[in-house]
Amino acid sequence: MSENSTATIAKAKLRRPASREVITLDGTSSFRFYVHDEPHPFASWNYHPEYEVHLILRSSGRFVLGDAIGSYVPGQLMLIGPNLPHSWIADREPDEHLTDAHAVLHFTDGWIRACQAAMPELRVLDSLLRRSGRGIEFHGTARTRATEALLAIRDAAEGAERVVRALDLLRILAEASLKDATPVVRAWVPQLDDGGPSEPMSRAIDYIFENLATGVRLHDAARIATMSDSAFSRYFKARSGQRFTDMVRQLRLTHACHLLKSTDKPITTIATTVGYSNLSNFNRQFLRTYGKTPRQQRAESR
């Protein structure tokens, strides 16, 4: 894809609302770290209430962050605050596939506040977190050290070691000088209101998470959100950028991916656990989304 093409796409994204991305944790970690290929099925012009540390490993192109458009190359490292819309548009051919193109860390404000309550020394992160509302790009020694710390999370064993390394990463980012930690968004972009736990979207997502295995129905989600089925369907699409059924399928398959990688459960059991009563349908949906079968996904992760 040409540079002019990516610039055009970037400008077009600014003219339309961002979609809400739902960040899921697997129950074994208080934050999410992952490395993903390009293209990625859930990469889009989106926002989410979590903080995001984003490292470019192998890609290049244009980024859109709030009201800013810029270029990115391998090695770029950013901290993106809650609900700040963002997207990366790669300069690559339509059939080109890049393995391990992006490394991403997501963590919630609730998690970091709980850490600060237990360890007051972490109050040194407050300024960093406030400034992240405009997006921060890191340079120089700070970027080098932070990149090493971020990738150390990937290499760490499960458990406490990952938490220690995640907090070490945030310490490095907080200690970066202002010349090595520059704001990306030129003008203040009001953060999108995520609404809190009583907001209809949050109640609907809670309902989905709680009932993935036993059955999720739009009618029940609409009732919980105190809307008619048709009104809720329109509302959900406007807020998330996806149809309700597509979101449910996405969350089920994301959970299935985790179980395939982290457990030895039979694929039939995993399909049932994430809400598929028909194994053939599960295999078909998985292949359509990820371009590989569940069996292939498990083999590649071992």
Tokens encoding 18: 């961002």
Task: Tell me if the bond preceding 183 is cis, omega within 30° of 0.
Answer: no
Q: Which of 113-127, 151-165, 211-225, 288-302 has the highest mean pLDDT?
A: 113-127
pLDDT, mean of residues 184-192: 59
Q: Where are the beta strands (DSSP E) in 239-287?
A: none
- 221, 171 in Cβ contact below 8 A? no
Q: What is the mean pLDDT of the chain?
A: 83
Pairing of strands 19-20, 46-47: parallel
Structural contact between residues 63 and 55, judged by C-beta atoms closer than 8 angstroms: no
Q: What is the DSSP letter of 226?
A: T
Q: Whole-prediction pTM value?
A: 0.63
pLDDT for the residue 60: 86
What does the pLDDT read at residue 44? 67
Q: Is the pLDDT of residue 288 over 60?
A: yes
What pLDDT score was predicted for residue 12? 54
DSSP 234-251: HHHHHHHSS-HHHHHHHH
Q: Could you give the CA distance from residue 282 to residue 291 in angstroms, rounded to a whole number? A: 13
Range with lowest mean pLDDT among 22-26, 135-139, 261-265: 22-26
pLDDT single digits (tens) 203-247: 777 788 778 777 899 999 999 888 999 999 988 877 666 788 887
- In this prediction, residue 197 carries a pLDDT of 37
Give the whole-angstrom CA distance, residue 59 versus residue 97.
10
Q: Domains in the chain, please, with CATH?
A: 3-183 (2.60.120.10), 200-301 (1.10.10.60)
Confidence of residue 196 (pLDDT cuts 50, 70, 90): very low
- What distance in Å separates the CA atoms of residue 84 and residue 133, rounded to the nearest whole number? 7
pLDDT exceeds 60 at position 187: no
